[in-house]
Amino acid sequence: MADNTLAESLFEAINLIASKKVSDLPYDKTVICTITDTSKADQNEYTVTDNTSTFTAYSENTEYGLNAQVYVTIPNGDM
């Protein structure tokens, strides 16, 4: 019986450690934003907001208009 308790405790500890490591992994985050400034659209640069913060986003292939809703990828979730 003691072996089962020890094994269960060991597995529980491993699960806690693994869960913490997985939650700390960097990953890309995608947010829906609204374009608020297109004055640098000729340089593929837009000012966007996700209603909590405002930042600059870039587009390689597409031109967007003012108030357009776009998906913005945040590399490693680092805003």
pLDDT along the chain (79 residues), means of 10: 79 88 81 96 95 93 94 81
Please state the pTM of the whole predicted model: 0.64
User: In the chain, how many domains are there?
Assistant: 1
Domain interval for residue 43 = 2-77
* DSSP symbols for the chain: -HHHHHHHHHHHHHHHHHHHHHHT----EEEEEEEEE-TTGGGTEEEEE-SS-EEEEE-SS----TT-EEEEEEGGG--
